[in-house]
Structure 1
Amino acid sequence: MRTSRILTVGAATVTAIALAATPAAAQEDTTTTFDLDAGTLDMTVPGTADLGNGGGGTTITGQLGVVTVDDTRAAADATWTAEVEATDFTTDDGGDASEIVTPGNIDYWSGAATATEGNGTFTPGQADAGAAEPLSDVTPITAFDHTGGTGNNSASWNPTLEVNVPLANVAGTYTGTVTHSVA
């Protein structure tokens, strides 16, 4: 019987050595961060535009250049409306009526989009020349809008201005400002 006791003591010693040889599990934490940037609703427009020339009592028609709305808000409701308004167009000092073309004499039409990205519905304010609207210096008109859709989107268009020059206006270079905004 003596042999079996030695084996039992030997087995217990081997088990104790095996447990002592197993290293404890190591664990270290890494604090991890990232920045989530807020998206924006931006618009780009041409810096200048030359609509051409014509005489008093005529209509001068020209394109303004590409207008783009870029919506990177990644919103669940990515709706926006772009509006447009204008100042008086004047020559010389604009001191009398014959040196001024008011915004009401300038028709605007956005036309169809030249490019779009994203989902939702992109709608021109004035799809064609027949839908042209007079500009105002008081109440903006809708140039383009986007309804529905989610996430990022963009739209571009090249609006046309039709300047209905009053017959009594004097010759000269007329300058004014067309302002687009988006919200």
Structure 2
Amino acid sequence: MRKRFVMLTSASAGALMLALAAPAMAAPEADTIVTFDVTAGSLDITAPAGPVDLGDGAPGSTITNQLGVVAVSDTRGGATSVWDATVYSTAFTNGALTIPVGAVSYWSGDSLPGSETGGGTFTPGQPTTDDQVPLTGTAITAIPAFSHSGGTGGSTASWNPTLVVRVPITAQLGTYTGTVTHQVA
């Protein structure tokens, strides 16, 4: 009888050693919780720094040329992406000589192909040359250039506006300089 007890104990110990020596079974999947933050960006507008040469014309003529690409980028990440870009100008001067700001008209034209990103509605201020309007002289009275409404998160748009200078018949010869300012809010 005693022999049986020893044999059972030896068999139990062998089984235990075999179980401990076997490799562990891997789990079929493992989860890792990952987090990150989306932070607020900004609302920005860019335009050519210049000087931009629109060309030349005699007194009583019209000078028409594009200003260069103006772009708005909204990365604020809000529930809606709404912005309005406007434009105004100083008078154009050559020393004591002045061509008034009202002699210069602006039309935005449509956005450049492929420049609109984000959902919502993009609206040019003046889609065609027939829609051109005279520039104003202050930020408060600035005219619409382009706008965006609706959509979520962010948006971008670019356009290449045209300036139309109606050179007064009384204008004297020289190079006239002024500043066209685009702003966005």
TM-score class, shorter: 0.7 to 0.9
DSSP-derived class of the 1:181 partner: strand
Q: Determine what percentage of the aligned residue pairs are the same residue.
A: 53
> Counterpart amino acid of 2:87?
V
TM-score by length of 2: 0.78
Aligned pair count reads 173
Instruction: Show the counterpart of 1:39.
Output: 41
Residue 79 (structure 1) aligned to one of 77, 82, 88:
82
> Counterpart amino acid of 1:161?
L
DSSP-derived class of the 1:55 partner: coil
Residue 37 of structure 1: CA displacement? 3.5
Taking the aligned partners of 1:121 and 1:103, their CA distance within structure 2 comes to 31
The CA RMSD over aligned residues, in Å, is 2.9
Instruction: Show the counterpart of 2:161.
Output: 159
Shift >4 Å, 4+ stretches: 32-36
Tell me if 1:128 matches 2:128: yes
Residue 33 of structure 1: CA displacement? 8.1
Residue 59 (structure 1) aligned to one of 62, 66, 73:
62
Instruction: Show the counterpart of 1:4.
Output: none
Describe the superposition over 1:64-94 as per-residue Cα deviations: whole angstroms up to 9, x where unpaired: 0000001111111100000000001011x12
Task: Check conservation: 2:39, 2:77, Cα contact below 8 A.
Answer: no
Residue 72 (structure 2) aligned to one of 63, 69, 73:
69
TM-score by length of 1: 0.78
Query: Within 5 Å, which residues of 2 pair with 1:78-157?
Result: 78-91=81-94, 93-94=95-96, 99-115=97-113, 116-118=115-117, 119-138=119-138, 139-157=141-159
- Mark the runs of 5 or more structure 1 residues left unpaired by the alignment: 1-31
Query: Within 5 Å, which residues of 2 pair with 1:160-179?
Result: 160-179=162-181
